[in-house]
Chains A and B, each alone.
Chain A
Amino acid sequence: MVASLTRRFGDLDVAEDAAAEAFAVAVERWPSDGVPPNPGGWLTTTANRKAIDRIRRESKRDDKQRAAQMLRDGDAPVQGAVDDDRLRLIFTCCHPALAMESRVALTLRMVGGLTVPEIARAFLVQESATGQRITRAKAKVKATGIPYRVPSEEDLPARVSGVLAVLYLVFNEGYLATGPDSDPLRPHLTAEAIRLARLVRTLLPEDGEVAGLLALMLLTEARRPARVSTSGELIPLDTQDRAAWDPALIAEGHRLVRERLATGQAPGRYQILAAINAVHTSARDARDTDWSQVVALYDQLVRLDRSPVVALNRAVAVAELDGPEVALAAVDPLGQALAGYHAFHATRAELLRRLGRTAGSREAYDQAIALAGNTAETAYLSRRRDELG
């Protein structure tokens, strides 16, 4: 509803307030008057009236004519207009002229419908700061003329990848919370990211990376029930109870990966990551994992993305295929770039442990524990370190 109001009135504030007012009227009236036969239609009509009232209140004569014009335009809704509106809104909220934090907050607020306190809690920031961030972002959208439309064909891939980056960030915070002050896994955030990714997929069904990200999220989320022990410790992939994985999410993720493979188009990074997760979720037992396939997919990913984090993840797979010594030789050169990344030290600790280099392993576990913020991960790493004896 906010999306279609934004399209009609060209203003995020007017749209949001009108929707909120309409809901308030509904809450007040429906219990005594009864719910109208078409509640959705009633809300939309009421919100439209509220928005026009507001524009009339705020503006001079010229703008009143504009309001009247908009009322007329709204009489014949175009087929598919609702979806188009939401898609436009997503691109506006994820515009590259806004800071990443603002894109995330604005998307969760305007597209996801989360409240300001909910968003503040999600990213462990003050409510007032979140409110201000959203207000400032909306003001920038308005003042700078950030358009409310689907980008041109030539800009679309870059802009879609910007939208996906926002959704992936929300998902990852839910998948493995970065801070020590929240639950280690935050299913509300992963669920919201998946919901938004499904929406974007409905709107852009032909986009391979959209399908790839959705598949990646589904195959990751499928493992959630097996990821934390009853004592609150993170359980790594190889020792998870695979019977606890969600078969429906896995089936849906695999279907998407197969669908992308069938197109024969070169996959982007999300599609490759989804394929890697499809290999993992295809193995009934960790020992059955097709590691050569995983390494081959990482090789493909390294060609697209030369970041040291990808190289690190590839080395983890290499350890299973070629042994810890080969993997360690690939990990050590990443030390300078990843010195502040807990997963780098955790990976080294694990490889050194397997090589029987206990002292080095303990030191690496210490560094990993100092850098890790997630409580379940800290608990897991601490136990591994203490088991070194």
Chain B
Amino acid sequence: MAEMQYLVSVIFDETSGFATPEEMTAIDEFNDGLRADGSWVFAGGLAAPDTATVIDNRGAGEAIVTDGPFVETKEHVAGFWIIEAPDLDVALKLAAEGSRACNRKVEVRPFL
């Protein structure tokens, strides 16, 4: 079966703070593991939602630029992995390791 790709979003909630040095080390180790077994596609951390800018260029005139995230929520995506896995079971297992490493909830969604 062809490999599938999954977006693993790291969810920042009320209980989260900035990543601690221990968490950063654990994340690095987890990333090394992903690369070693061929599951790695991409990963990155995101700046806080209040740094976001929304652009809407669907209209006839100039693009409308808005300061701030498109939706205000208590929880937001703080970073993500894109991983490759043969099926959801493998993806969930990797996501569970990722959640442990970064000490946050994660959400797994398949790419189309």
What is the interface of chain A, defined by CB distance below 8 A to chain B?
Answer: 10, 95, 97, 143-147, 151, 155
Q: Name the distance in Å between B47's Cβ and chain A's nearest Cβ.
A: 29
Query: Are A97 and B92 interface neighbours, CB within 8 A?
Result: yes
Residues from chain A with Cβ under 8 Å of B87 in the complex? 145-147
Contact residues in A for B91 (Cβ distance below 8 Å): 144-145
User: Which residues of A lie under 8 Å from residue B109 when comparing CB positions?
Assistant: 144
Main secondary structure of the interface of A (DSSP, over half): loop
The reply to whether B110 and A144 contact each other, CB–CB distance below 8 Å, is: yes
Q: Note all chain B residues with C-beta closer than 8 A to A144.
A: 88, 91, 108-110
B92 near A145: Cβ-Cβ < 8 Å: no
What are 12 A-to-B residue pairs whose CB atoms are below 8 Å? A95-B88, A97-B92, A143-B112, A144-B88, A144-B109, A145-B85, A145-B88, A146-B87, A147-B86, A147-B87, A147-B89, A151-B89
Say how far A239's CB is from chain B's closest CB, in angstroms: 49
Chain B stretch 95-112: residues in CB contact (< 8 A) with chain A: 108-110, 112
Closest to A97 in B: B88
Ordered nearest first, which 10 A-B pairs have the shortest CB separation? A147-B87, A145-B87, A145-B4, A144-B110, A144-B88, A146-B88, A145-B88, A147-B89, A143-B110, A97-B88
The CA of A143 and the CA of B111, in the complex, are separated in Å by: 8
A-B contact count (CB 8 A): 27
Q: Which residues of A contact B92 (CB under 8 A)?
A: 97
Contacts of A145 in B (CB 8 A): 4, 85-88, 91, 110
Q: How large is the interface on B (under 10, 10 to 19, 20 to 34, 35 or more residues)?
A: 10 to 19
CB interface residues, B 45-85, toward A, < 8 Å: 85
Interface of B is mostly: mixed
Q: For residue A151, which residue of chain B has the nearest CB? A: B89
Residues of A within 8 A of B88 (CB): 95, 97, 144-147
Find chain B residues with CB under 8 A from A151 CB: 89
Shortest distance between the CB of B16 and any CB in chain A (Å): 24
Residues of B within 8 A of A (CB): 1, 4, 85-89, 91-92, 108-110, 112
A10, A143, A151, A155 — most chain B CB neighbours (10 Å) = A143
Q: List the B side residues contacting A147 at CB < 8 Å.
A: 86-89
Which residue of B is nearest A143, CB measured?
B110
Give the CA-CA distance A34 to B112 in the complex, in Å.
47
Q: Name the B residues within 8 Å of A143 (CB-CB).
A: 110, 112
- Give complex CA distance A337, B29 in Å: 42
The smallest beta-carbon distance between B7 and chain A, in angstroms, is 11
How distant is B107 from chain A, measured CB to nearest CB, in Å?
11
Contact of A155 among B89, B108, B112 (CB under 8 A): B89
A145-B86, A145-B88, A147-B86 given; 11 more Cβ-contact pairs under 8 Å: A10-B1, A143-B110, A143-B112, A144-B88, A144-B110, A145-B4, A145-B85, A145-B110, A146-B88, A146-B89, A155-B89
A97 to B90, CA, bound (A): 12
Q: B112 to chain A: which residues have CB within 8 Å?
A: 143
Cα(A155)–Cα(B87), bound, Å: 15
Closest CB-CB distance, B91 to chain A, in whole Å? 7
Chain A neighbourhood of B4, CB < 8 A: 145
Chain B residue with the shortest CB-CB distance to A159: B89
Note all chain B residues with C-beta closer than 8 A to A97. 88, 92
Query: A341–B109 Cα gap in the complex (Å)?
Result: 37
A95 and B87 CA atoms in complex are apart in Å by 12
